[in-house]
Structure 1
Amino acid sequence: MTTILPDAALDALLAQDVPYGDLTTDALGIAAHPARMSFTARGAMVLAGTEEAARLVEKAGGRVLRFEPSGTEVGAGTVFLEADGPAGALHRAWKVAQTLVEYASGIATRARRIVDAAPGVTVACTRKNFPGAKDLSVKAVRAGGAVMHRLGLSETLLVFSEHRAFLTESPDVWIAELRRKAPEKKIVVEVGSVEEAVAFARAGTDVIQLEKLPPDAARAVIEATRRLTPPPVVAPAGGVTEANAAAYAAAGCRLLITSAPFFGQPADVQVVLGPA
């Protein structure tokens, strides 16, 4: 991954953790001692946020010797970041950098598992990331080989039942109006049944988003709409995980929408910090 969080964001992370200096390190009188630090994967994982971790080390006053980029798949025991410098600098960066990599790599690893479970299918993650952590979450999703379903309300047309509750015209009328107002956008409609899916597809929807419908329902929608010109994209959403991704792919789905990578354990990273 070539993108990296801006320095202002990383400065804020350091300021939250070390607002007025490192009391313990300073009081012990060891801040100037030469030190070395390494980050090691305790288990298999897909790395994410390593560029930010390296930059945090640099901003704290350390020197990065090497690191593996985001998106790299590593096994247990792999050392993926090494740095040296004054002990005070490495102690300032240590926990912030470790935690950032652990959370981001957890997301990337879960995303990669879904991608691997459904070869040839696009896995798109929703915007249900932890509030305030979108930049890092997006980077982690991409590191795992997935893409973003939508980054926010400003960029895509996605009509939920909560929108349709306010509409009085037939679907073909308001779908045509959406196409007139935003002709460069795909029109996505979320549905809760096979019957709804077929009806909205016939009204001209580009993408049918299936809310928590099982693979057999997805197959039924694909079969019922495949002769439309053009046929809609049928995309399961809600409840898509690595456990059922292959079943949706086998049903004919080529786009899976999921929030699963955002929820779960962080990756486990061991940090060793000691005298150089």
Structure 2
Amino acid sequence: MQTEALLDRFLGALAPLGPLAVWAHGSLAGGDHQEGRSDLDLIAVLPGPVRPGTVWRVAVLHQGLRADPLAAKLHCSYLTPATVADSGHRHLTWAHQELMRRPVTPVTRRELHTFGRVLHGGAPGGLLPEVPDRELAEFVVSDQRDFWRPAVDRAQLWTRDVWVDMGPVTFARATVTLREGRLISKREALEELPGLGAPAEIVEDIRRRRYGGPAPVPSGEGWRVRRAELVRGWLGPAIDALVAAYA
């Protein structure tokens, strides 16, 4: 399996940095991973401060993996014992083939505790504090209100597959988390979407692109424009109603 081969290469390249633990979250840990389509979402806990030399070594490590066709989907945030408990800390992260700094969100932290996959070292429970239900719910509401709702108003975004794929699925996952206090997979989110009023054409469009199917995925400029109108016309009011109910 190409994914496992890439993970082995990654762990081997990371070994000189002496990681205390490496964990997978997202679909790779949750059992819904689609090779070649899904991201490889990882967390590494390094033993000491992330100094400029560490940043350089991390960059070299990831650049060395780029020949692998799946490497562009491998994302990893680098924590340390001094920063692991701070959910607002912006950790060194390799994502989308570049270095950046971003927090490890309460959703990711809850995923790690619930179904995180240990690739190396200790389990998340030994290093990572639990996420209180209130903190998780507040983050989910703010993500819908402050990120996704303004994005709905940016019409040009929704002609792109990635926004159509992620917006409705994230909304369905947010709804179930707020309603029931649990996390669900993308596959489960697709099953939730019809009951949340999502247009059937949008749900099928996402399903075929992620999981394949007997019929071809629609294409062409006319479909992309119509698809954007459908998803935005539903998603904006749906987010407004969710935020009003749970804010």
TM-score normalised by the chain length of structure 2 = 0.24
Higher helix proportion (structure 1 or 2): 2
Higher RCO (Cα < 8 Å, 6 or more apart)? 1
Higher strand proportion (structure 1 or 2): 1
